């Protein structure tokens, strides 16, 4: 019984192993693996042998099973079956085991690779995470920088007040908001008077502190609904929005504000323990957003009003009026004409003689003329001021200097008293105060052999507006280039006496306003006497301008005035006319002539 059980168990075990192998081969598709077929076949034969072994115990089954008739045959069959089965198993294992080992090795390698891959993925993930974090930081910084840039775009860095862009945005915003309302608004353009002199004399750092102090003062005193900004330099803007009432009421409110603002700016200011006294010119425009004017138009109107206020003097305010627009338009046209005149050489020079006490011509003053193609002669004072305003004064100045040098070469062959002829050129203070003025003069005069021509620059007291030491250095540098200086319009400024001692001046020109009523006007006579006494003690020569008659000349001659200029001695004329009329050759013909009082006012 035990035998049957053991044989059956053996057969079943072989069957289970066979089935497991077969189903695995089918399920995992490993039937192509080396040795797997041998293993299946081997186990099958062993199972068959064991199964036959079991059936041996049941003789009735013999008729169903093909098996040897004798026990020996049966044994041989079972033995052969088992033997073949084992041989097949041996073949199978021989091939299958290396494959299993290979597989195991491959699995190990795969595991290793996986682990390396995971490590790489971790490292890469970490790197990406760091890059991501860095990118986020950069984006944040960029956003911050952009926001700072946006802020800077709309903010004045010195005062932190809104700038011009912000003002235009504000006006546009208010326009959209207020379309349906009928209220008035006012724009004030506030420009500090003579602020450049503070920068020039105390330095830009001090000037910046003054600007900040004024900005704080204005900011502290305006209402929260008003717009206060700085447009650059010494120019501020205030917008009063939504003024209710009629036009007159709005204008009155604006007037009161402008007055208050003047007082505010005029109040003494202390910067770095120094007291600064300021005033401002204010241009005002009152408008309604219902009008068709753009924000730029509104600002232009306020600008025109400011120009008008400054033109009238300083510390004043002016409301925009349509007539101003017309004047501004004319000014723009004149500016264009002047630029063209310079380009088309419509400007030319006349020269007015300067004589000594013997009537000998010792010098000439070059006087600029503009013959406009349609308007005729244009007043030089007017267009020189215009050239300063439109920023071409240096161009004009260089043009004059070049023309003087060119034309005076023609005089080189003449004999002059002291073998020298002084040729004076009027220099605008704005031009003289330019940083490269010395280089400009040097460049021009180096191109001309002036021989016995002495170049004299006529400057006015306005050049003393900045640092006097700088001015003295500048003048001394120019003197080394053989340039002399004459102080023009002497006596009309407020600081003449102070600066006369400091500046390296060769001569002064007594302003014609003191000469005109000589000798009857006692006050003028006293001033002229004082000037002559003082300049004599300082060893500075004097030219009296605007001599129109012999009485004036005789009076000044008695006071020992050295040099004279005026219609009494010669009108301004072209250099060729002066030569042709022998004014420069036979100088004694220029001796004073009596009863010549009907000449018109002499030139600058």
Binding site residues, Mg ion, CB under 5 A: 426, 458, 488, 604
CB 356 within 8 Å of CB 562: yes
- The end-to-end CA distance of the chain, in Å, is 154
Q: How many CB atoms lie within 10 A of CB 73?
A: 11
CB 173 within 8 Å of CB 232: no
Which stretches of 222-367 are DSSP H helices? 247-266, 295-312, 322-343
CA distance 567 to 590: 11
Query: Where does residue 263 rank: exposed (0-12), middle (13-18), buried (19+ CB within 10 A)?
Result: exposed
CA distance 150 to 154: 7
Q: Of 47 and 383, which has the nearer Cβ to Mg ion?
A: 383
Q: Of 207 and 363, which has the nearer Cβ to Mg ion?
A: 363
Q: Backbone dihedral region of 194: left (phi > 0), alpha (psi from -120 to 50 degrees) or beta?
A: left
CA distance 474 to 314: 29
Locate 2 and state its tokens.
């035990």
Q: Of 283 and 363, which has the nearer Cβ to Mg ion?
A: 363
**Spatial CB neighbours of 274, under 8 Å, sequence gap ≥ 6:** 202, 206
Q: Of 14 and 427, which has the nearer Cβ to Mg ion?
A: 427
Q: Of 156 and 458, which has the nearer Cβ to Mg ion?
A: 458
Nearest approach, Cβ of residue 384 and Mg ion (Å): 11
Nearest approach, Cβ of residue 365 and Mg ion (Å): 6
**Residues for the chain: how many in total?**
604
Nearest approach, Cβ of residue 402 and Mg ion (Å): 19
Q: Of 334 and 426, which has the nearer Cβ to Mg ion?
A: 426
Q: Of 379 and 435, which has the nearer Cβ to Mg ion?
A: 379
Q: Of 167 and 457, which has the nearer Cβ to Mg ion?
A: 457
Nearest approach, Cβ of residue 273 and Mg ion (Å): 41
Nearest approach, Cβ of residue 424 and Mg ion (Å): 7
CA distance 467 to 54: 132
Nearest approach, Cβ of residue 565 and Mg ion (Å): 9
Q: Of 82 and 602, which has the nearer Cβ to Mg ion?
A: 602
Q: Of 49 and 426, which has the nearer Cβ to Mg ion?
A: 426
Q: Of 166 and 368, which has the nearer Cβ to Mg ion?
A: 368
CB 54 within 8 Å of CB 11: yes
- Candidates 345, 343, 344, 362; CA nearest to 353 is 362
- Candidates 500, 499, 485; CA nearest to 538 is 500
CB 258 within 8 Å of CB 190: no
Nearest approach, Cβ of residue 461 and Mg ion (Å): 13
CA distance 20 to 33: 15
Q: Compute CA 114 distance to the chain's CA centroid, rounded to the nearest angstrom.
A: 61
Q: How many CB atoms lie within 10 A of CB 402?
A: 15
Nearest approach, Cβ of residue 335 and Mg ion (Å): 24
CB 529 within 8 Å of CB 559: yes
């Amino acid at each position: 019984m035990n035998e049957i059980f053991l044989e059956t168990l053996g057969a079943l075990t072989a069957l289970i192993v066979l089935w497991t192998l077969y189903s695995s081969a089918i399920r995992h598709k490993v039937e192509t693996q080396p040795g797997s077929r041998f293993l299946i076949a081997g186990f099958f034969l062993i199972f068959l042998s064991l199964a036959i072994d079991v059936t041996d115990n049941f003789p009735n089954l013999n008729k169903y099973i093909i098996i040897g008739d004798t026990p020996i045959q049966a044994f041989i069959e079972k033995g052969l079956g088992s033997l073949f089965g084992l041989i097949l198993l041996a073949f199978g294992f021989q091939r299958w085991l290396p494959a299993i080992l290979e597989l195991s090795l491959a699995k190990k390698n795969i595991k290793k690779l996986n682990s390396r891959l995971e490590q790489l993925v971790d490292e890469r993930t970490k790197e990406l995470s760091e890059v991501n974090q860095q990118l986020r930081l950069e984006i944040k910084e960029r956003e911050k920088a952009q926001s700072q840039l946006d802020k800077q775009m709309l903010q004045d860095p010195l005062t932190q007040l809104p700038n011009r862009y912000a003002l235009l945005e504000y006006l546009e915003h208010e326009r959209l908001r207020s379309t349906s309302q009928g209220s008035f608004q006012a724009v004030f353009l506030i420009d500090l008077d003579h602020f450049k002199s503070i920068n020039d004399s105390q330095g830009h750092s001090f000037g910046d502190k003054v600007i900040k102090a004024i900005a704080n003062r204005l900011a502290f005193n305006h209402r929260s609904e008003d717009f206060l900004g700085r447009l650059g330099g010494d120019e501020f803007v205030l917008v009063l929005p939504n003024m209710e009432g009629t036009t007159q009421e709005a204008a009155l409110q604006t007037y009161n504000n402008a007055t208050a603002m003047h007082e505010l700016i005029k109040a003494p200011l202390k910067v770095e323990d120094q007291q600064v006294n300021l005033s401002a010119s204010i241009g005002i425009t009152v408008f309604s957003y219902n009008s068709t004017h753009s924000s730029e138009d509104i600002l232009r109107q306020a600008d025109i009003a400011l120009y008008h206020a400054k033109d009238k003097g300083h510390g004043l305010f002016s409301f925009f009026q349509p007539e101003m627009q017309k004047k501004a338009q004319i000014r723009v046209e004149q500016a264009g004409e002047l630029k063209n005149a310079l380009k088309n050489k419509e400007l030319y020079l006349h020269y007015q003689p300067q004589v000594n006490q013997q009537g000998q011509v010792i010098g000439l003053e070059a006087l600029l003329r503009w013959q406009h193609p349609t308007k005729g002669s244009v007043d030089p004072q007017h267009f020189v001021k215009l050239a300063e305003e439109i920023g071409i004064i240096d161009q004009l100045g260089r043009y004059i200097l070049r023309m003087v040098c060119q034309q005076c070469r023609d005089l080189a062959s003449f004999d002059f008293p002291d073998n020298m002829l002084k040729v004076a050129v009027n220099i605008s203070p704005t031009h003289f105060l330019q940083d490269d003025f010395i280089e400009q003069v040097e460049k021009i005069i180096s191109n001309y052999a002036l021989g016995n021509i002495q170049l004299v620059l006529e400057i006015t007291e306005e050049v003393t507006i900045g640092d006097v030491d700088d001015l003295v250095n500048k003048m001394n540098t120019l003197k080394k280039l053989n340039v002399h200086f004459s102080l023009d319009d002497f006596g009309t400024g407020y600081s003449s006496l102070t600066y006369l001692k400091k500046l390296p001046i060769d001569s002064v020109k007594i302003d014609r306003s003191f000469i005109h009523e000589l000798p009857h006007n006692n006050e003028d006579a006293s001033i002229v006497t004082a000037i002559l006494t003082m300049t004599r003690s300082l060893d500075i020569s004097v030219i009296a301008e605007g001599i129109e008659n012999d009485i004036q000349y005789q009076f000044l001659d008695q006071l020992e005035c050295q040099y004279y200029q005026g219609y009494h001695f010669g009108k301004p004329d072209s250099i060729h006319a002066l030569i042709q009329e022998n004014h420069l050759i036979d100088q004694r013909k220029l001796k004073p002539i009596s009863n010549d009082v009907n000449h018109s006012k002499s030139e600058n």
